[in-house]
Structure 1
Amino acid sequence: MAAQGDCGGPQAAYGYDSYRSPLASRYASPEMCFMFSDKYKFRTWRQLWLWLAEAEQTLGLPITDEQIQEMKSNLDNIDFKMAAEEEKQLRHDVMAHVHTFGHCCPKAAGIIHLGATSCYVGDNTDLIILRNAFDLLLPKLARVISRLADFAKERADLPTLGFTHFQPAQLTTVGKRCCLWIQDLCMDLQNLKRVRDDLRFRGVKGTTGTQASFLQLFEGDNQKVEQLDKMVTEKAGFKRAFIITGQTYTRKVDIEVLSVLASLGASVHKICTDIRLLANLKEIEEPFEKQQIGSSAMPYKRNPMRSERCCSLARHLMTLIMDPLQTASVQWFERTLDDSANRRICLAEAFLTADTILNTLQNISEGLVVYPKVIERRIRQELPFMATENIIMAMVKAGGNRQAAAIVKQEGGDNDLIERILTDAYFSPIHSQLDHLLDPSSFTGRASQQVRRFLEEEVYPLLKPYEHVMKVKAELCL
């Protein structure tokens, strides 16, 4: 089964004479774009008004079945043109949609939004969207981990030159290096799931969070107000609501949400930077389509453009954490409205960006190309110098002494060290052992075992809840 990947929809559908975010028009998946669309938002507002009316009716307010049915029948009957005209007049988006909903539900018009404040629909809708957006991201991240786990398992024993400070270091294996990537992504998967599951509903709280309007509706019956809050929370699919809010839910929730997304961005940036460097070394390449052109001037080039895209967008994702940090810090008393415009941008962009880089990274991980001969050649260039200690110890065991170290240094120079040792009579006792001493697999330590243990003990158990979505492929349009 194929995912539609990062095909946000044809630009022609929106015209060419105004700006539209490339995240929506070019990169992010249709399902994530829909999650942050006006249609989904305002339809959710109506659903929240329906849930509120149903709960109020159950608890004894004079709301009829006919009014409830009228609201149910018009959840998707949204006149966006009328709503826009109403907002121009009222300068208030929530009341514009109250009037628009009431226009198509004349019998229910008087009980729509009964006792509520704007944040009843605004904040609760945001929380529903955040939860559902996490539910879109989590399977995508799990698939990336799964694809990389397959790659790591297949290449668990393939030696490769390790780098520290981007200078040649001890050998590792291609699979072990991949596990470094996987480990970071596993942390991200756990963090995204934790924040998603910790989301609490704002619930039914009133203008400053005191529930005063609902207490008045229920003539001072505290128990009914609490029941109302609980009933609407359960209808929305949340396990619990905040006990304490101002007019809004605390904006520290947005910090938590964007923190884990920014952390995911850091992981993806590191992975794709490694892939770009490996592409330069010609050891590993990302997929390259049959009709893809590497460069307009140099068509023979195989540029790692998917990895470059991931790095570019991951940088944007990492910077977005500053928005909720600053917003939360300046929310005066029960709330100020300077959060609104900022949140309209940063929350949507964070999820659309995360969606794009996960779609792209899945596509990369499903088609990574390894060049073992190139890897082997680079190992041969560096291994003689790494093997000096092994050669010295073998000479000592064969009856030589530590002066072998001095001779090795004297013979050192270029990577023809082994040829020089083979022609030096002093080393004749170990000439027959040189192939064994220079076997790359003897320099990778426990890398292979670490890969297998890590996959079995940490990765596969973490992926088990996502087994039913693992077959979805990532296809990119651009």
Structure 2
Amino acid sequence: MNLTSLQAISPVDGRYRKTTQGLAAYFSEEALIKYRVFVEIEYFIALSEINLPGLENFDKSLYSELRKIYETFSENDALEIKETEKITNHDVKAVEYFIKSKFDSLSLQNYKEFIHFGLTSQDINNTAIPYSIKLALSESYFPAIKSLIEKINSLAIEWKDIPMLAFTHGQPASPTKLGKEFMVFADRLNIQLENLKSIPNSAKFGGATGNFNAHHIAYPQINWVTFSNQFVNETLGLTRAQHTTQIEHYDQFAAQCDALKRINNIIIDLDRDIWTYISKNYFKQRIKAGEIGSSAMPHKVNPIDFENAEGNAGIANALFEFFAAKLPISRLQRDLTDSTVLRNVGVPLAHTLIAINSTLRGLDKIILNEAALHADLDDNWAVVAEAIQTILRRENYPNPYEALKELTRTNTKIDASSIANFIEGLNVDESIKIQLRTITPFNYTGVF
């Protein structure tokens, strides 16, 4: 199949292929097959390592040859397995037959029946998929979100001393620092990222219904729980769920989805704030030669990167929310609904990467328009009312809040002169008036 980006149904594999193509190494059909082969081979080696009767004479020097089966896994290997699947109508069984054919070529026919020994297909799927998710997070997602956090941090440092009018309920409020507002998002992202990292990559490994029935009936002398814990936790680097049905219960994966959704919500919040600041002319955007903002209005430079990011993060969150709600629910010991859902795991991660990339691209374009920030502060002297009434409270001045309310809620514009006249009319010591006169919208920015 020679699929081009113009023929793809999903924009993940079409329009945004350049951004998302790295995820194919974890979530494509070929990748899933490869990770299944990986688990099967490592499981066989683990059985050999404990000298399972029937494998006690297996030549351990052949481990490297066995590992080459997945280390050199190719598209042709995947196609061979897919051809077998047309006959078996079972994807994991096709993988088993593929490995058995490799054993034939290595003259290991006597050991073939220990491939997939005692397992059900979900012992492979529910380790291969968590393993691919773990790799995708560590090798693709974490570096991307770290780059975004670093960019936000750098802007926070660059603009740490820039005063800016704050807005609560869309109305002018106590001034802040532009850098601090960026630091809010960096801090939030860091906290939620650590929460995500703390969630185990849970896996199921326990036979047809989670009780090691086949393992135990064949080799009752072996502690299969201990063996499987060591195999999943140490060899695969996952965390084995101790009590399961035929499938992993997906509770930890649901927690990962919820954590990823929270991070995306923070990104959406950031995108919307920057969009609003651009609309207030606090930021201008670097113009790239040849780019067009509007097909009809030549003057426009639209904040498309932040809008693109918001849309993609929203799509990702819809899927993360569905996964978290659906996957932990399965009829009795297992139904098949999780299988088709799990094949879409890479989709919300792809949209998430698009959102992160678009946000980064947008942040790289914005140019601070300090004059606009200055003008808004100068146009809103009423915001220092909080400072004045707080000092008057400290001095036990009668009804300071009400006095400032009367001043600032008139239809008359409040400016530096209005505030100065109000201060002069106060019945307080001159030392207090001196302190009040120093307060401006430009310096009433608190600490952080």
TM-score w.r.t. length of structure 1:
0.78
**Is 1:169 the counterpart of 2:158 in the alignment?**
no
Kindly indicate whether the alpha-carbon contact (under 8 Å) linking 1:83 and 1:97 is maintained by their aligned counterparts in 2: yes
Partner residue, 1:43: 34
Q: What's the offset of the Cα at 1:113?
A: 1.8
Whether contact under 8 Å (1:131, 1:199) holds in the other structure is yes
Alignment partner, residue 309 of structure 1: 308
Aligned partners of 2:264 and 2:240: how far apart in 1? 29
Do the aligned residues in 1 keep the contact of 2:306 with 2:359 (CA within 8 Å)?
yes
- Once the two structures are superposed, the pairs formed by residues 386-405 of structure 1 within 5 Å of their partners are 386-387=383-384
Correspondence for 2:87: 89
1:444 to 2:441 alignment: no
Query: Is the 1:157–1:173 Cα contact (8 Å) retained in structure 2?
Result: yes
Contact 1:294 1:303 in 2 (8 A): yes
2:213 corresponds to which residue?
A: 212
Give the equivalent residue in structure 1 for 2:146: 142
Structure 1 match to 2:252: 253
In structure 2, which of residues 188, 191, 203 is the aligned counterpart of residue 201 of structure 1?
203
Which residue number corresponds to residue 74 of structure 1?
A: 69
1:214 and 1:225 in contact (8 A); partners too: no
Match of 1:379 in 2: 377
Mark the runs of 5 or more structure 1 residues left unpaired by the alignment. Answer: 1-11, 451-478
Aligned-pair identity (%): 20
- Indicate the SS of the match to 1:441: coil
- Alignment-mate amino acid for residue 156 of structure 2: A
Q: Is the 8 Å Cα contact of residues 411 and 420 (structure 1) preserved in structure 2?
A: no
Does the aligned pair in 1 maintain the 2:163–2:442 contact within 8 Å? yes
Give the match for residue 53 of structure 1. 44
Shift of 1:140: 2.2
Change (3 A) 1:232 1:440: closer
Q: Using a 3 Å threshold, how does the CA distance of structure 1 residues 423 and 216 change in structure 2: closer, same or farther?
A: closer
In angstroms, what is the RMSD of aligned CA positions? 3.7
Residue 20 (structure 2) aligns with: 29
Residue identity opposite 2:203 in structure 1: F
Give distance in 2, aligned partners of 1:407 and 1:37. Answer: 63
Sort the Cα spacing of 1:50 and 1:438 in 2 relative to 1 into closer, same or farther, 3 A.
Answer: same
- Cα deviation, residue 251, structure 1: 2.0
Contact 1:278 1:284 in 2 (8 A): yes
The one-letter amino acid of 1:188's match is Q
User: Residue 14 of structure 1 aligns to a residue in which SS?
Assistant: coil
Cα 1:422–1:166 shift into 2, 3 Å: closer
How far did 1:282 drift? 0.8
Q: What letter matches 2:148 in structure 1?
A: V
**In structure 1, distance between residues paired with 2:250 and 2:408:** 67
Match of 1:277 in 2: 276
Do residues 237 (structure 1) and 237 (structure 2) align? yes
Q: Distance in 2 between matches of 1:235 and 1:420?
A: 73
Equivalent in the alignment of 2:347:
349
CA distance in 2, matches of 1:178, 1:53: 51
Worse-superposed segment, 124-133 or 329-338: 329-338
- AA aligned to 1:58 is E
Alpha-carbon spacing, 1:173–1:83, altered in 2? closer, same or farther (3 Å)? same
Pairing 1:227–2:227 present: yes
User: Given the alignment of the two structures, is residue 178 of structure 1 paired with residue 178 of structure 2, yes or no?
Assistant: no
Q: Tell me the SS of whatever aligns to 1:162.
A: strand
Pair 1:272–1:393, CA change in 2 (3 A)? closer
Residue 445 of structure 1 and its aligned partner are, at CA, apart by 1.9
1: CA distance, partners of 2:326 / 2:252: 11
Supply the AA of the counterpart residue of 2:201: L
Query: In the superposition, relative to structure 1, how do residues 103 and 406 fare at CA in structure 2: closer, same or farther (>3 Å)?
Result: closer
Residue 166 of structure 1, CA deviation: 1.1
Residue 436 (structure 1) shift: 5.0
> Residue 391 of structure 1 contacts residue 437 of structure 1 at CA under 8 Å; is this kept in 2?
no
Matched, 1:332 2:334: no
SS of the aligned residue for 1:442 comes to coil
Q: CA deviation at 1:341?
A: 0.8
* Kept in 2: contact 1:153–1:175 (CA 8 A): yes
Partner SS state of residue 174, structure 2: strand
Task: Tell me which residue corresponds to 1:133.
Answer: 136
Shift of 1:258: 0.8
Distance 2:230 2:398 in 1: 81
User: Does the CA contact (< 8 Å) of 1:51 and 1:232 recur in 2?
Assistant: no
Deviation at residue 293 of structure 1 after TM alignment = 1.8
Q: Distance in 2 between matches of 1:414 and 1:316?
A: 47
1:364 is displaced (CA, Å) by 3.2
C-alpha distance in 1 between matches for 2:408 and 2:342: 67
CA distance in 1: counterparts of 2:409 and 2:137, whole angstroms: 60
Tell me the amino acid that sits aligned with residue 386 of structure 1: V
TM-score by length of 2: 0.83
Return the letter of the residue paired with 1:201: A
How far the C-alpha of 1:223 sits from its partner, in A, is 2.6
Offset, 1:392: 8.7
1:192 paired to 2:196:
yes
- Residue deviations 1:119-144 (CA, integer Å, cap 9, x gap): 12211011101211221322322222
